[in-house]
Amino acid sequence: MLMRVLPYVFGSMICRTCALTLDSAYQINHAREPKCEMFLILTMQRSGSTWLAHQLNKRVQFHVSHEGFNLGNLGGVVAHQLGLQPAAIRRMGAKKFALKVFDYLAKEATPPCQVGFAMMGTSADMFTHNETLGLLEKWVIRKVLLKRENTSEQWISHETACWFGDFSPHSTRSDHIEHLKEARERLQRGETCDGRSLEKFQRKKDAQYSEWMTALGDQPRIELTTEKLDHQINDLVSQLRDIAGIPAKEEKVAGDTFDILTDDA
């Protein structure tokens, strides 16, 4: 039994040491040390990542945005500022472009600080999963996994957004309730907006999170669930502060209660 355990432990130690060594080289090979600690929110649409980024930005020394690899979102803002066309970004690769996004978020920051953005997976981002592996394998970039447990409601919300062009936090609760009602009726009639049934949506979601977990290996990570965001936000802030060395202080943060009906963008 001991002989079986030791090679695994020894191999694990070597692997972790190699990863840390590569990350050190990764930092050294850049012209300067990153101004802030960096993190990625790995999630899928209709999981509450917009609300999460908004809440993190209310904290001192946090600079967080939405979809860094979506050219219709933050990625497009960074690309425009740098004068980059999509083809040039693809040649640059996910790892280098992510650093450009982090630099953009950190431009007004003062250390110690945290910068982060959301990766939404292959259904929304411009890079394929394989193209992001070099980035995901970097231990110096912390990972936050946000997952919605109720896939059925996530699918309905996704279809509602697709039909009604609603890909941002909902302006009014009453309007969104009406949109949801109409979407449910259409789905019950067998209609879909993008041709994906619940079963196809579930398979895509399972595959995406499985790929992320495999890529991360035994990296430390923070796991959140959409349904418990209200209870997990403070612990997340505390952990990210500790990583960056941001002093804990009393903050009067006007935190919004997470309403999964209206805040699941």
Residue 262 has pLDDT above 90, yes or no: no
For residues 218-246, average pLDDT: 96
Q: Residue 33 — very low, low, confident or very high, per pLDDT cuts 50/70/90?
A: low
pLDDT band at 19 (very low <50, low <70, confident <90, very high): very low
**What pLDDT was estimated at residue 168?**
65
Tell me what pLDDT residue 8 has. 29
Residue 129: per-residue pLDDT: 97
Q: Is the pLDDT of residue 90 over 90?
A: yes
Max distance between CA atoms of the chain, in angstroms, equals: 64
Residue 15 has pLDDT above 50, yes or no: no
Q: Enumerate the β-bridge partners of residue 62.
A: 114
- pLDDT confidence bin for 27, thresholds 50/70/90: very low
Q: Which residue has the tokens 């972790």?
A: 16
Q: What is the pLDDT of residue 252?
A: 64
Residue 214 — pLDDT band, cuts 50, 70, 90?
A: very high
> What mean pLDDT is predicted for residues 16-20?
41
Average pLDDT, the chain: 86
pLDDT of residue 265: 79
Using DSSP's 3-state secondary structure scheme, residue 92 falls into helix
User: Pick the residue with more confidence: 63 or 251?
Assistant: 63
Identify the band that residue 87 occupies on the pLDDT scale cut at 50, 70 and 90.
very high
Residue 197 has pLDDT above 60, yes or no: yes
- Predicted confidence at residue 260, as pLDDT, reads 87
- List, as one string, the DSSP characters of 105-140: HHTT--SS-EEEEEE--TTTSSS-HHHHHHHHT-TT
CA nearest 50: which of 67, 72, 75?
Answer: 67
DSSP assignment string, 24-91: HHHHHTSSS--SSEEEEEE--SSSSHHHHHHHHHTSTTEEEEEETT-TTTHHHHHHHHHT--HHHHHH
> 36-50, 146-160, 165-179 — which is least confidently predicted?
165-179
Across the range 34-63, mean pLDDT stands at 95
pLDDT tier at 6, thresholds 50, 70, 90: very low
**What is the average pLDDT across 50-64?**
95
State the pLDDT at residue 251: 67
- Residue 249 pLDDT level (bands cut at 50, 70, 90): confident
**Structural domain boundaries of the chain?**
34-149+207-244
pLDDT on residue 34 = 77
> Which fold is adopted by the domain 34-149+207-244?
Rossmann fold (3.40.50)
What pTM was computed for the model?
A: 0.86
